[in-house]
Amino acid sequence: MKIQNQIRQSAYKADGFIKKYQKLIKDTVIPYQYSVLNDKARGAEKSHVVKNFENAARALNGEEAGDGFYGQVFQDSDAAKWIEAAAYSLVNFPDKKLEKLCDGLIDKIVAAQEKDGYLDTYFTIKDRDKRWTNLLEAHELYCAGHMMEAACAYYEATGKNKLLKSMLINAEHIYKVFITDGHEGFPGHPEIELALLKMYRLTGNKHCFELAEHFINKRGTDPDYYKKETQNRSWTVWGNNANDNDYQQSGVPVRDMTDAVGHAVRAVYLFTAMADLSSQTNDKKLFDACKRLWESITEKRMYITGGIGSTVHGEAFSVDYDLPGDTAYAETCASVGLMFFASRMLEYEIDSKYADVMEQAFYNTVLAGIQLDGKRFFYVNPLEVVPGISGVASAYRHALTQRPGWYACACCPPNAARLISSFGKYAYGENDDTAFCHMFASGEVNFKNGVSLVCKTDYPYGFTVQYEVKKGGALSIRIPGWSKSFGLSINEKNTYVKKQNGYVFLNVNDGDCVTLSLDLEPRFVWASSRVARLTGKVCLLRGPLVYCFEGVDNGGDVLSLALKRGGEVKAFKSDDEILKDTVKLSVKAVRRKTADSLYSDTPPNETDTFAIAVPYYTWGNRGENQMRVWLDDI
C-alpha cells in the first residue's frame, strides 16, 4: 500500500505531553541555540556559524573575510537545522519576533551564495578552487541538503520563498556539476538525497528528483571512487580512510545492500532516501533492500532504547548482537534518523513494526538527548554510567554522566529540536482515502483527505486514547506491539476489529468518539542470549518507556541491585520536583553486599529491598550518579 505521509505540519496542533515539549523547544531551546549560533551563549562551545556566513559574503564582495572560517567543515548545517526547527515552531506558535530572526539569518545565508548557485562558507572563505574535489570528507552536499530541508520547512510555515528560491538555484548548480557535466562522485555523508525528494514534492522541480535518484543509484557502483578521489588531491579535512567502504556505505550498489554498516547517521539518512524513492517509484527491488536493512538494524543491531550505532569508533554500527550498555554510542542524531527511516517505510507499507520503532526511538533516545529544562544536551546515550569511570577512563570517555551545554560538533541539539517541533509529521499520515494514527499524541489534526479529529490522551503515562471525530471517514489506528491486549469502543460500545499488520481499520462518522485502551502494566524484558553483555539481565518497560535505575533513588548504589524475576512492580506518580508529571516504578529486588576487598571467597550478603526506576529519558537531570537500564535477574 502506498501512502503519502506528508500532511502539512499545520494540520496538527499539539496538546498534552507533546505540546509541553514543543513549548520547551520554542521558549528555551530555539532561543538558546540562536545565541550559540551568534557566539553569545555563556560557557558554550564557540559556534561562529553566523559569522561564517557574514565573512563569506564579504569574500564574495572582494573584501577581507573578517576573521575567516571557524568550526567544523559542516558548520553551515547548524544554521539550517535551527531554521528548520524554528519554522516548525512558527506553525505551532506564531511568533513575529522569531520570524524576524529567521528572515535576518536567511538574508545572511543568501548573501553568502555564489553567482553560480554554490553555497558553502568553508570553501567560499578558505578554498574556492577546491570545490567538489573532496566529496568523501568535505560535506558540501550534506550542508546543501540540510539547507534545502530548512528552505522547504520555512516556506511551508510562512509562505516566504527567499531561501527556497536560493536552494532551487543551488540544486540547479549541483545538477549541472553531477548530471550535465558528469562529475563521477556521490555524497560522502548522505543527506541531500532525502532533502532533494522533499524539494521535489514541494516544488515539482524534476531536476531535484533526478538528482536524488542519481545519487542513490550511483552509490556503490564504483567501490574505488573515494580511493581515486583521494589520490587526485593533495589535501584532506580529517584523513578519512578512503578504503573503508563499510564506513561510508559505498561498497555495493544500494539494491544489493544486506547489513546496516558504518557511520550510523549516514546509514539511516541514506536508507530514508532509499525508502522514500522506492515509495515514489514503486521500486520493489529498492524497497526489498530497505526491508533487509531495517531487519538488520531492528532485529540485530538496535538497543532497547531505540539507540543505534553501538561503537564510538566511527560513530558506527558494530556487528550483530554487539550491544554493550556502558560503552554505547547511540548518537541522538542516529535515533532521529531512524525515525525518518521508519516514517518513509510506512509510506510504502503499512505495518506497525515501523511505527513501534519510531515511537521507541522518540520516547527514549531522542528525548534523552535534551535535559528536562532544555538547556543541556546529550550527543551520546549510554545505558549505564558509573561516575569515576564513565567520561573518564579511555574506553568510556564518550559516555558522559551529565549533559554538556553545547558541542563543537553540534549536530544533535538542533536535530532533536526540529524532530520534536515537527512531531505531527510522524504521528499522523494519510493516503487518498484513509487517515492513519501512527503514534498517540494529544491535539487536533485535520487531514487533507477530509478526516478531522481531536485526540485526548495522557500518553505516554496514560494508556487510554480517545479520538473525537469532527469529520468522519476511514480511520486506521496502530495497536502497539508492546501492548499485550487492547480494547476498542465506538460511542462507548465495545467493538471488535481484527488487526491488519498491527493496525485496526475503522469507518467513523461525524461526532463519533473512538476509545482505545492499551495495556498499562509494567513488564520485564530480557535480551537474546546472543547479546553477550546482557546475559542474565533484565530491564523494565511501561508502555513505550524504557526505565532505568539511578543512584539518587536507590541509596546511591545501583550496581549491587538485582531484580526478582516476576516480582511485583508498582507504578506511582513522582513527587520529585524535577521529575514531576512522570511515573516511577517500584520493583522487588535484592541488594548484594560484598566484602570490601577487590576479590573475596565470601559470598555476598543478600537483602530484600525495593528498587526505584525512572523513565530513561529523564536520567541525568538530578546530578551525577550511577545509572543502569539492565540489572541482574534472579
Q: Is residue 613 part of a domain?
A: yes
Q: Do 527 and 624 share a domain, yes or no?
A: yes
Catalytic residue among 315, 349, 359, 384: 315
Q: Is residue 568 part of a domain?
A: yes
| CA distances, 620 to each of 369, 372, 387 (Å) | 10, 9, 11
Active site residue 315: yes
- The answer on pLDDT for 11 being more than 90 is no
Question: Are 613 and 557 within one domain?
Answer: yes
> Higher-confidence residue: 466 or 45?
466
Same-domain status, 513 and 537: no
Q: Which residues contact 598 (CB under 8 A, 6 or more apart)?
A: none
CA 172, chain centre distance (Å): 29
Query: What tens digit of pLDDT does each residue of 128-179 get?
Result: 999 999 999 999 999 999 999 999 999 999 999 999 999 999 999 999 999 9
Boundary (domain end) residue, out of 491, 518, 545 = 518
User: Would 532 be classed as within a structural domain?
Assistant: yes
Residues 482 and 545 in one domain: no
614 and 600 housed in the same domain: yes
Last residue of a domain, one of 518, 537, 566: 518
Model confidence band, residue 409 (pLDDT cutoffs 50, 70, 90)? low
Q: Are 192 and 266 in contact (CB under 8 A)?
A: no
Residue 219 · residue 253 · CB < 8 Å: yes
Single out the residue in 495, 518, 541 at which a domain terminates. Answer: 518
Q: Which of 102, 152, 208, 411 is catalytic?
A: 411
List of residues 6+ apart from 274 with CB closer than 8 A: 193, 216, 254, 286, 289, 290
Confidence of residue 407 (pLDDT cuts 50, 70, 90): low
Asked if residue 415 belongs to a domain, the reply is no
Report the candidate in 503, 497, 490 with the shortest Cα–Cα distance to residue 354: 503
Question: Are 498 and 577 within one domain?
Answer: no
Domain count, the chain: 2
Phi, psi of 562 (to 5 degrees): -135, 145
Q: What is the pLDDT of residue 414?
A: 84
Give me the pLDDT at residue 87, please: 97
Please check whether residues 511 and 591 belong to one and the same domain. Answer: no
Beta bridge partners of 20: none
Answer yes or no: is pLDDT of 363 > 50.
Answer: yes
CATH number, residue 474:
2.60.40
Q: Is the model's pLDDT at 410 over the cut of 70?
A: no
Answer yes or no: 411 catalytic.
Answer: yes
Cell 505531527 locates to 424
- pLDDT of 7 strictly over 60: no
| pLDDT grade for 1, boundaries at 50, 70 and 90 | very low
| Residues whose CB is less than 8 angstroms from the CB of residue 619 and which lie 6 or more positions away in sequence, other chains included | 368, 548, 550, 627
Express each pLDDT in 480-520 by its tens digit: 999 999 999 999 998 888 899 999 999 999 999 999 999 99
pLDDT over 80 at 115, yes or no: yes
Domain membership of residue 505 (yes or no) is: yes
Q: Helical H runs in 252-331?
A: 264-281, 284-300
Cell of 607: 537483602
Which pLDDT band, with edges at 50, 70 and 90, does 42 fall under? confident
The region, left, alpha or beta by phi > 0 then psi within -120 to 50, assigned to residue 68 is: left
Range of the domain at 446: 428-518
- pLDDT value of residue 75: 95
The answer to whether residues 511 and 554 belong to one domain is: no
Same domain, 440 and 497: yes
The answer to whether position 237 is within a domain reads no
421-466 confidence digits (pLDDT tens): 999 999 999 988 899 999 999 999 999 989 999 999 999 999 999 9
| Whether residues 532 and 604 fall in one domain | yes
User: Considering the domain boundaries, does residue 389 fall inside one?
Assistant: no
Percent of the chain with pLDDT over 70: 98
User: In terms of domains, do 507 and 591 share one?
Assistant: no
pLDDT at 5 over 50: no
Does residue 472 sit within a domain? Answer: yes
pLDDT in tens, 268-312: 999 999 999 999 999 999 999 999 999 999 999 999 999 999 999
Mean pLDDT along residues 101-124? 98
Prediction pTM value: 0.96
- 544 with 618, same domain: the answer is yes
